[in-house]
Amino acid sequence: MSHPPSSPMAVVTAFLKAMEPLDYDSAAAMMAPDCAYTNPPPIGTVRGPAGMRAVLEPFFAPTIENEFRVLREAVNGPVVIVERLDRHRLADKWVELPVTGVFEVHDGLITYWRDYFDAATILSQWPGS
């Protein structure tokens, strides 16, 4: 029997690992029901696992493989900040996006997730944009 991650950094690491193969069910289980998930405009803020899926499932639909490389991390109590290089393999190329994510973890669940990135960088390389 596996035990859920205990530290805020362990929760965020497990969450990102679940998102690489787009295991939405496992990732959603690590989010609080009212978790606020915010992206730069035009996406904005959604709430909870259903909101996260509504944003990410259609966006990641063209990906064949995803990798979230954590370059730097900082933890202060429940707050975890990770500088990442998000890599997405599409049918014809890899697309890379530098991202900084800010998470809050309480009682083993992500209650806040905000990603900072340049939307134009990803949208200029993404299919259908």
d(CA 53, CA 10): 22
Residue of 23, 25, 115, 118 marked catalytic: 115
Residue of 86, 92, 107, 118 marked catalytic: 86
Alpha helices in the chain (DSSP H): 8-19, 24-28, 48-60, 119-123
Give the position of tokens 């900084």. Answer: 100
Q: Is 86 among the catalytic positions?
A: yes
Residue 4 one-letter amino acid: P
d(CA 116, CA 100): 5
Q: Is 92 among the catalytic positions?
A: no
> Is the Cβ–Cβ distance between 46 and 31 less than 8 Å?
no
Instruction: Give catalytic residues, as residue numbers.
Output: 86, 115
